[in-house]
Amino acid sequence: MGAQVGVLLLVQLLAQVEQQMQGELKPELPADLGKGDGGRMGLMETKESSPSRLPAELQDEDLLFPGFENISLLAWPCGQQAIPTRVMGGMDAERGRWPWQGSLRLWGFHSCGASLLNRRWVLSAAHCFEKNSDPYEWTVQFGELSAMPSIWNLQAYFNRYQVEDIILSPMYLGASAYDIALLRLSSSVTYNKYIQPICVLASSTEFQNRSNCWVTGWGNIEEDKDLPSPYTLQEVKVGIINTTMCNNLYSQPIFSYDIWGDMICAGDVQGGKDACFGDSGGPLTCEKKGLWYQVGVVSWGVGCGRPNRPGVYTNVSRHFNWIRMLMAHSDIHRSDTWLLLLLLCD
C-alpha cells in the first residue's frame, strides 16, 4: 500500500513540474484580448502548445468516433447533417444543419456553446466555468435553433440535459492555452435527425488552409450588437489560417500574442467573419468525405471580426488522447486529479 501511495505522489509531483514548465513558456494574456470576463462567453437573459502525446500509429484516418482500439464509445454514426450546408456566412442556420450544436446553460440561460460527442459526453471551453464550476447549475440543450425557446415548447425542455461532471484540462491555468473541457451528462441523450454527435480526428493537419469550414453559435452578431430575438443559431463560413500567418498577424507592435500549438486560427483576414461574445465553447467544424469533424473549440479573440485579428480556437486534435481516455474511463470524476494527470502523461 505504501509503495502505491509513493507512486501516486511521484506522478503528482512530476505533473506539477510539467505544469510549471509549461506555465513558464506561456505568455500572460493581454488585457485587451476581447476576452472580457471569459473568452467569448456570455450570459443571455430575456432581452506554446501542449506537446502531442498521441501514439505514432495514430494517423488521420484513425477516427475517435465510433470506437477506437476496441473502445466502442458511440453506436450512432457521427458527423452527419440532416440538411446539407449552403454557402453563406453570418446568417440564421436551419434546424438539423448542425445537430451536434449545444447550448450550455447556467441557471437556465444560454452562456456558452458546446458540442455533442456521444450520448453522455459534451465538449466545450474551460474558461466558460471560471466563475461557476458547479455541475448541478449547468444544463445543455440540444436540437433547438433558438437559445431561448418558448415556454410552450415542451420538446426543447425534454432535450435539455443536466450536467453531472465538469472536467477541465489539467493543464488549463486560467489563460487561453488548454482551453478545453469535457462535460459528462447525468442521463443519455436521445438521438434523432436534429440531435447527432460530431466526429473528431486524431490529426487536423489536412484541414490547414481550408476555406470552407464553419463556426456556429448564439453569440453577438457584431462586436457591440447582441443576437436579436428570436435568438436563432448563427452560422458563418470561415477559413483555417495557418499558425505561421496567424502568429504574424498577432505580432504587431501595438499588440503581440503567441499562437501556440494547441490553438488554431480561423476567420477572414479582411474581417467580418468570426465568432463573437457568447460563442465560447462552440464548435469549429470542417467536412471530409461527407462527414463533419470538429477541428476547434471557440476560445478567444480580439474583438469580433476585426481585420487581421482572426478568431482563435482550441485545437481539438491536440487533446485527442485526453478526450479518448476520459470517455473510455467513464468512472472518472473531476476530483480524481491524479488519475487525469496520469492519463495525460500516459
Q: Across-strand partners of 252?
A: 255
Q: Would you call 333 a catalytic residue per the annotation?
A: no
From the list 103, 110, 115, 127, the catalytic residue is 127
Tell me the residue ranges of DSSP E strands in the chain.
89-92, 101-106, 109-116, 121-124, 138-142, 160-168, 181-185, 213-217, 234-241, 251-252, 255-256, 263-267, 283-288, 291-300, 311-315
By the 8 A CB rule, do 115 and 282 touch? yes
From the list 103, 146, 176, 280, the catalytic residue is 280
Q: Would you call 187 a catalytic residue per the annotation?
A: no
Residue 322 identity: W
From the list 165, 179, 268, 279, the catalytic residue is 179
Q: Please, is 136 exposed, middle or buried when counting C-beta atoms within 10 Å of its C-beta (0-12, 13-18, 19+)? A: exposed
Q: Across-strand partners of 292?
A: 287
- What the block records as the C-alpha cell of 95 is 434546424
Q: Which residues make Cβ contacts (< 8 Å) with residue 157, sequence separation at least 6?
A: 149
| CA–CA gap between residue 248 and residue 243 (Å, rounded) | 9
Q: Would you call 127 a catalytic residue per the annotation?
A: yes
The residues carrying an active-site annotation are 127, 179, 280
